[in-house]
Amino acid sequence: MRAVSLDPDVVAVTSRLLQTNCTIVRGAIQGSTGETFVVDSPILPDELELLPSLLEQAGFPAPSGLLATHADWDHLLGRLAFPQAPLGCAESSAARLQAEPGAVQRELRAFDEELYLARARPLALGSVQALPVPGRCSIGERELELHAADGHTGDGMAVWIGWARVLAAGDYISNVEIPTLSRGGSLDAYLATLARLRPLVELAEHVVAGHGDVLDSERALSVLDEDVAYLQGLQEAGGAVELPAGRRSRRQRELHAANLAAI
């Protein structure tokens, strides 16, 4: 696991597996330690066990809340690290979790069995707070902006940390993975999300995708443009579309084949 400070109030944590990113944000104000939220999660059991001590070493208080950019299982594991912290997500994600009871736990169990991973406790999501999106979420005396981000799935949000100019984008704008249309996803909605996020990417100092490197604004805009070109090509040319440079591995071609099947 790698932890990088993006701002005095923001730390990005990258898992050793799938380059999955977690964003830790503190709504600190002058003379106060503030309030902490953990956005998304790393994957491996030892990484989750280390998160509380990482926050302590960074001088962040224990999280008063967890946020998930969407309801895919690999973004919901914060409850394993902080079982008492409430979980918040977009109303669309809360509705998905309610409509698919136990799905997250089954997918996590299948993943763990395939990789022979053992966890200290089963994942219990507890009561999930549905957040209106677009909207704002208070963190101490500051606010996070919540922006609709669907298309990869049928649910989701991106989190804009305005004072730090950091965008937690969820499974968008990744330099290691092509755009993917998972169950409930939509090509048109994906393109609309990228258009919605572009002004934030232009303002950002850092863009934290669900998977991959933390990007500066210039590199993130380049990836966003490549993603738009790929999706438009998928719409117009189907299987003949060229995959973005640097994302043409065997695994990315498998994801491309799944996209073709989805549309």
DSSP 125-147: --SEEEE-SSEEEEETTEEEEEE
H or E element in which residue 236 lies = helix 217-237
Confidence of residue 159 (pLDDT cuts 50, 70, 90): very high
Report pLDDT digits (tens) over 180-223. Answer: 999 889 999 999 999 999 999 999 999 999 999 999 999 999 99
Question: Model's pTM, two decimal places?
Answer: 0.93
Q: How far apart are CA 32 and CA 245, in angstroms?
A: 45
Return the pLDDT at 140.
Answer: 85
Q: 239 or 66: which carries more pLDDT confidence?
A: 66
Report pLDDT digits (tens) over 21-39. Answer: 999 999 876 555 678 999 9
Confidence of residue 237 (pLDDT cuts 50, 70, 90): confident
Q: How far apart are CA 244 and CA 239, in angstroms?
A: 14
Assess contact for 48 and 2: CB atoms under 8 A: no
Phi, psi of 222, rounded to the nearest 5 degrees: -65, -45
DSSP 92-134: HHHHHHHHSTTHHHHHHHHHHHHHT---SS-----SEEEE-SS
Number of Cβ atoms within 10 Å of the Cβ of 200: 21
Look at strands 135-139 and 142-148 and give their pairing. Answer: antiparallel
Q: How far apart are CA 62 and CA 176, in angstroms?
A: 31
Evaluate if residue 2 carries a pLDDT over 80: yes
Confidence of residue 9 (pLDDT cuts 50, 70, 90): very high
Tell me the domain boundaries of the chain: 2-262
Kindly state the percentage of the chain with pLDDT values over 70.
98
Report pLDDT digits (tens) over 87-100. Answer: 999 999 999 999 99
Number of Cβ atoms within 10 Å of the Cβ of 206: 21
- Tell me the pLDDT of the chain averaged across its residues: 93
Look at strands 10-14 and 36-39 and give their pairing. Answer: unpaired
Return the pLDDT at 124.
Answer: 92
Class level of CATH domain 2-262 = alpha beta
H or E element in which residue 5 lies = strand 2-7
Lowest mean pLDDT among 99-108, 184-193, 237-246: 237-246
Report pLDDT digits (tens) over 163-191. Answer: 999 999 999 999 999 999 998 899 999 99
Return the pLDDT at 153.
Answer: 95
Instruction: Identify which of 261, 263, 211 has the alpha carbon closest to the alpha carbon of residue 232.
Output: 263
Lowest mean pLDDT among 11-15, 24-28, 134-138: 24-28
The DSSP code for 164 is G
State the average pLDDT over residues 243-260.
94
Evaluate if residue 240 carries a pLDDT over 90: no
Amino acid at residue number 5:
S
Burial of 22 (0-12, 13-18, 19+ CB in 10 A): buried
Kindly state the percentage of the chain with pLDDT values over 90.
85
Q: For the chain, what's the residue count?
A: 263
